[in-house]
Amino acid sequence: MKHYLASFAVGLLLFGAAQPTSAAVLERGPYLQTPTSASMVLKWRTDTPTDSVVNFGDAPTNLTSTVSTPTLTTEHEITVTGLAPDTRYYYSVGSSAETLSGGNSGQFFTTAPVPGTTKPTRVWIIGDSGTANASAAAVRDAYKTSTGSTVTDLWLMLGDNAYPDGIDSQYQAAVFDIYPDLLRKIPLWPTLGNHDGHTADSATQAGPYYDIFTLPTNGEAGGLPSGTEAYFSFDYGNIHFVNLESYETDRSPGGAMMTWLANDLAANDKEWVIAFWHHPPYTKGSHNSDTEGRLIDMRQNALPILESHGVDLVLSGHSHSYERSHLIDGHYGHSSTLTGAMVLDNGGGRETGAGAYDKPVGGTNAGAVYAVAGSSGKVSGGSLDHPAMFASISSLGSMILEVNGNRLDAQFIDESGNVDDNFTIIKGDDTTPPIINKTEADDASSVTVTYSEKVDVTSAQNIANYAIDNGVTISAATLAADERTVTLDTSALTEGVEHTLTVNNVDDIAGNTIAANSQSQFTFVVIQTKDFQDGVAPTTAYAGTRDAY
Ligand SMILES: [Fe+2]
């Protein structure tokens, strides 16, 4: 009532003065919801009720298209439709009386690509971010510095988005006041955490969480209609995203959510499957997936369905740490029941290390990576020793995911901007050529070259494919059992001289050829070693005292 009186009074002023006066204050947003290849939902809040107007166009100064609704409201929601896929639109929001925000280079939205097509896609992932404090701001700023001018396509928020109870004012502080510039240009996909659930009701889709977010119930953004905003799926290019509700929705095997999940995944034809929800199936952080019911339920009931339909990556929060698994499959029991057979690749998935995780296209039960990214607002310790994990890190931070065709790259970036973990999954045929990871002189007549991935034995052992400068000749090349390391027998190396190795025509096992004239430097250094032994005096050129112990 108070708002209506205020609006009426301002209206009288407008008529009386016949001059545009600022009639409303933008309190929230604009923010972007449910992106599709043809539409975008824009939402914002004003302090007084006005009508709703969105202007948009191909440049900040050319917002020639308009969508409006006459209803006076403080909770503005406009769905812009009829858009071109994978296209950037600049926009403004406001009322018929005034523009409140936009018409500048920082306010734009980008539609999703045509479903099924391939587009390099960048996703920012934060979990348990809702502290509204300096820690959340530091994580945000580290991400912004890291990403620079690179456009982020999507944003996942893994639950506990607004502490302590997910009420509207806490959402204002923890989401709208922390990320205002990002909300204007990156469509946000949230999931419900337990703290959000304090004031939300998933059964009726009521409460602040469900009021604030406009999420698909009818397959609007792809996937099988779920009938509820609590859980749903959506497509972005060649990625199928699944959002589950792990707090207060029935998690039982025959329940509506798990039944929908199985049907949704059976109908999916997108290359990548990425699932997210709040309660992690594997964690030894501030929560324990061996003892807590919701975590056990999701592991036992959702994972078999997801894995049998080829899920690639599962993202959760709840534990306020970063934990990232090996490539695993079929681990549904307590942590003590993890077997070697369930770990399909324990190398870490790094191309600079043991190599990317490889998966077949359309493979089922071919392995998935499970990540807990719940330290975007605080860290809370824990034993951090779940055996499924390759990395367990107690640092503030967030994840950046990049999917490009048959390749997925993920990073965990801490609040100082350091990349503390990374991994890569490559689907199907390998199209990445090998690179030289390092070259070292083992002794005065042999040099070891390590490639980023397994290489073809014939090309790797052909000495014509190698050259060393400064007159050093190569008499043999031998590929080790790991298929990544080649030892070159050389003419005598001179100590302290830096050499350059040049490699050509070495193929990986899929036939991709190393970049022409790939080079790597090495220096032969004689490492002086001497054994000191209790009670035995060094014999030569030793001026120190004898060890007395
Ligand atoms: Fe939580």
Taking only the tens place, the pLDDT of each residue in 118-158 is 999 999 999 999 999 999 999 999 999 999 999 999 999 99
**Could you read off the pLDDT of 498-514 as tens digits, one per residue?**
999 999 999 987 888 99
CA dihedral defined by 410, 415, 417, 419, rounded to 10 degrees? -40
CA angle 483, 503, 520 (to 5 degrees): 95
State the average pLDDT over residues 49-70: 97
Confidence of residue 526 (pLDDT cuts 50, 70, 90): confident
Say what the pLDDT of residue 528 is.
64
What's the pLDDT at 455? 87
Identify whether the C-beta of residue 223 lies closer than 8 Å to the C-beta of residue 232: yes
User: What's the CA-to-centroid distance between 435 and ligand 1, angstroms?
Assistant: 42
More confident residue, 9 or 334: 334
Single out the residue of 228, 233, 338 nearest to residue 281, CA to CA: 338
Ligand 1 mean position, distance from CA 287 (Å): 9
Q: Which residues pair with 426 in a beta bridge?
A: 358, 407
Do residues 453 and 537 make contact, with C-beta atoms less than 8 angstroms apart? Answer: no
For the purposes of burial, counting CB atoms within 10 Å of the CB of 23, is it exposed (0-12), middle (13-18) or buried (19 or more)? buried
pLDDT tier at 433, thresholds 50, 70, 90: confident
Q: Which two tokens stand for residue 302?
A: 């959702």
Q: Hey, what's the torsion of the CAs at 101, 104, 106, 108, to 10 degrees? A: 80
pLDDT category of residue 539 using cuts at 50, 70 and 90? low
The C-alpha atoms of residue 515 and residue 506 are separated, in whole angstroms, by 9
User: In the prediction, which pLDDT does 542 show?
Assistant: 53
CB 73 within 8 A of CB 45: no
**Residue 435 banded pLDDT, cuts 50, 70, 90:** confident
Separation of CA 158 and ligand 1 centre (Å): 9
Amino acid 113: pLDDT: 97
Exposure on the CB side of residue 338, measured as CA atoms within 13 A: 19
Report the separation in Å between the CA atom of 547 and the middle of ligand 1, taken as the mean of its atom positions: 57
Distance 96 CA to ligand 1 centre (A): 42
Res 531: pLDDT: 58
pLDDT at position 543 over 90: no
523 φ, ψ (degrees, to nearest 5):
-135, 130
- Give residue 20 CA to ligand 1 midpoint distance, Å: 47
**Dihedral Cα 74, 77, 78, 79, nearest 10 deg:** 180
The structure tokens 């992690």 sit at 280
Give the other-Cβ count within 10 Å of 167's Cβ: 16
Average pLDDT over residues 212-218: 98
Tell me the CA–centroid distance for residue 159 and ligand 1, in Å: 7
**456 CA distance to ligand 1 middle (Å):** 48
The span from the CA of 53 to the CA of 31, in Å, is 14
Sign of the Cα torsion 489, 491, 497, 499 reads negative
Distance (Å) from CA 166 to ligand 1 centroid: 12
pLDDT over 90 (residue 14) = no
| CB of 324 closer than 8 Å to CB of 391 | yes
How much is the mean pLDDT over the chain? Answer: 92
Tokens of 413: 């970036």
- Note the pLDDT of residue 536: 58
Whether 546 has a pLDDT exceeding 80, the answer reads no
* Ligand 1: centre distance to CA 127 (Å): 9
Span from the CA of 374 to the centroid of ligand 1 (angstroms): 8
Beta carbons of 37 and 89 less than 8 angstroms apart: no
Contacts of 35 (CB under 8 A, 6+ apart): 109, 110, 111, 112, 154, 187, 221, 236
In DSSP terms, which residues pair with 502 in a beta bridge? 467, 519
Q: How far is CA 220 from CA 112, 260, 337, 398, 525, in A?
A: 12, 16, 40, 28, 64
- Tokens 């980008």 sit at which residue? 110
Top-confidence residue, 258 or 529: 258
Q: What is the pLDDT of residue 532?
A: 56
CA of 372 to the centre of ligand 1 (A): 11
Q: State the pLDDT at residue 418.
A: 97
Q: How far is the CA of 177 from the centre of ligand 1 (A)?
A: 21
Are β-strands 188-190 and 343-345 bridged in parallel, bridged antiparallel, or unpaired? unpaired
Q: What is the pLDDT of residue 170?
A: 98
Distance CA 496, CA 522 (A): 10
Query: At residue 462, does pLDDT exceed 90?
Result: yes
Q: Which two tokens stand for residue 15?
A: 């008529």
Pairing verdict, β 446-451 and 485-490: antiparallel
Q: Measure CA of the first residue to CA of the last residue in the chain; give whole Å.
A: 88
Q: Is the pLDDT of residue 473 over 80?
A: yes
**How many whole angstroms from 319 Cα to the centroid of ligand 1?**
7
**Cα-based angle 435, 436, 439 (whole degrees, multiple of 5):** 180
Please give the distance, rounded to the nearest whole angstrom, from the Cα atom of residue 286 to the centre of ligand 1.
9
In the reported structure, the alpha carbon of residue 366 is separated from the centroid of ligand 1 by a whole-number distance in angstroms of 29
Tell me how far the alpha carbon of residue 115 lies from the centroid of ligand 1, in angstroms.
32
> Domains along the chain?
2-110 (2.60.40.10), 121-427 (3.60.21.10), 436-523 (2.60.40.1220)
Cα of 279 to ligand 1 centre, how many Å? 7
Q: Return the percentage of the chain with pLDDT > 70, whole number.
A: 91
Contacts of 5 (CB under 8 A, 6+ apart): none
% of the chain with per-residue pLDDT over 90: 85
**528 compared with 459, residue with greater pLDDT:** 459
Range from 212-216, 304-308, 336-340, 493-497 carrying the lowest mean pLDDT: 493-497
Strand (E) or helix (H) holding 196: helix 194-197
pLDDT of residue 544: 53
**Rounded to the nearest whole angstrom, what is the distance from the C-alpha of residue 147 to the centroid of ligand 1?**
27
Of 136-140, 357-361, 392-396, the least confident: 357-361
Mean pLDDT of 306-314: 98
Distant-in-sequence, close-in-space partners of 242: CB < 8 Å, separation ≥ 6:
223, 233, 261, 264, 265, 273, 274, 275, 276, 306, 311
Residue 540 predicted with pLDDT over 60 = no
User: Under a CB-based contact definition with an 8 Å cutoff, are residues 399 and 412 in contact?
Assistant: yes
Q: Edge to edge, what strands does the sheet with 357-359 contain?
A: 188-190, 154-157, 121-126, 397-404, 407-414, 419-427, 357-359
Residue 420 Cα to ligand 1 middle (Å): 23
Looking at residue 196, what is its pLDDT?
A: 98
* pLDDT band at residue 437 using 50, 70 and 90 as cut-offs: confident
pLDDT of residue 132: 98
Ligand 1 mean position, distance from CA 194 (Å): 5
Tell how far the Cα of 280 is from the centroid of ligand 1, in angstroms.
9
